[in-house]
Structure 1
């Protein structure tokens, strides 16, 4: 796995090679901005689901909500910096989880990681089976927003801030979920998926 500053643009020559080998371009948003805009309803849905899951695990942490309404007071001091750092760390863990489910990721010459502002990313040009692509895409959402809360709550280290991070991670997984929907709908059973910049290609297994 190598470091890069940003995800490269689509390599037209490689796209032609992929087409020559029977790959078709996935119908998907043309840019990250478009993908985020399209997936905003998914973000809201995921945050609601994560919030209900946290409530199910420990309803006492939601006692600040009453029939008379909800009151939230925001204060900013030095600890706020630690909270922001926790959000950045959550994003990095999210991307690391993506990475560890990519086959042979540490030895891969086609897998990259980097930072885009405060956000980290993992990008791979390895050929992935449809099933593996779906696994890589879904695991940060499953682990951080649904599995880790169960473990942390069981050990008694659950808190309002950890609930916030759980919901925050779920909302940030909206583009992952959009990719899951697109690949599930378009890529045939036992098909393969390959990334070329921001474009994805697929073909049926021979």
Structure 2
């Protein structure tokens, strides 16, 4: 694992080599800005899912966040900023934790940029594991965590706020999941060349187990 505050760039020579070896590039947004724009409807959907989960096991209302029909009162103090910063780190660590052998990998990167945190691996990863890596922060933080905190009686307004922030921030992850499910066949492995994702069909069913253990 390598820590660096610069996202690895796509290498044109590696791209040509991958294509020559029957790796197929996925059709993906050309930039982060485009990805965020395309994922905006998913941001709303994610928030509604999380609100539904919270409302099932606890309560949630606009009044808790200073939003009423008469006025809007939002207070963001230094403590909340620290919580959001920690949330970014935890979100990326959940991505990282499900990448096979990430500690020993020299092709797995994690870091912070001006646009937030990122995790990227240029190792070969099975489709099922790639889905797990993509979905982990949303499922754990924005679906399972509010259920656990509700049962413990510890789901405070601050936690609800952070859980919703994570839910909406996971919209790009959900967009990536949709692209993956619609373009990559079941028996396939994936890897990244910088920010560009490639997949390759694998006939050997035992390949995924060998690569992820």
With structure 2 as the length reference, what TM-score do the two structures score?
0.88
CA gap 1:41/1:63 in 2 versus in 1, 3 angstroms:
closer
**Structure 1 match to 2:161:** 164
Q: How far is the alpha carbon of 1:182 from its aligned partner? A: 0.5
Larger deviation, residues 47-56 vs 85-94: 47-56
Deviation, structure 1 residue 72: 4.5
Moved over 6 A (4+): none
1:53–1:146 CA contact under 8 A, matched in 2:
yes
Give RMSD over aligned pairs. 1.7
Alignment equivalent of 1:135, drawn from 132, 135, 140 = 132
Structure-2 separation of matches of 1:203 and 1:30: 21
The secondary structure found in structure 1 opposite 2:39 is helix
Give the superposition deviation at 1:32: 1.1
Deviation at 1:161, TM superposition (A): 1.2
Alignment CA distance shift 1:102-1:81 (3 Å): same
Q: What's 1:49 paired with?
A: 49
Where in structure 2 are there 5+ consecutive unaligned residues? 204-213
Q: Encode CA deviations 1:80-108: one digit per residue, 9 max, x unaligned.
A: 10111101111110000000000001111
Cα distance, 1:62 vs structure 2: 2.9
Deviations 1:125-177 (A, max 9, x none): 01111111101000100000011111111111111111111111010001100
The whole-number CA distance in structure 2 between the counterparts of 1:71 and 1:64 is: 10
Unpaired stretches in structure 1, ≥5 consecutive residues:
none
Aligned to 2:201: 204
CA distance in 1, matches of 2:29, 2:61: 37
TM-score between both structures, scaled by the size of structure 1: 0.91
Task: Tell me the residue number matched to 1:22.
Answer: 22
Q: In the superposition, relative to structure 1, how do residues 128 and 163 fare at CA in structure 2: closer, same or farther (>3 Å)? A: same
Structure 1 window deviating more from structure 2 (102-111 vs 45-54): it is 45-54
Call closer, same or farther: CA 1:155–1:10 in 2, change over 3 Å.
same
Query: What SS is found at the alignment partner of 1:126?
Result: coil
- The count of corresponding residues between Structure 1 and Structure 2 is 200
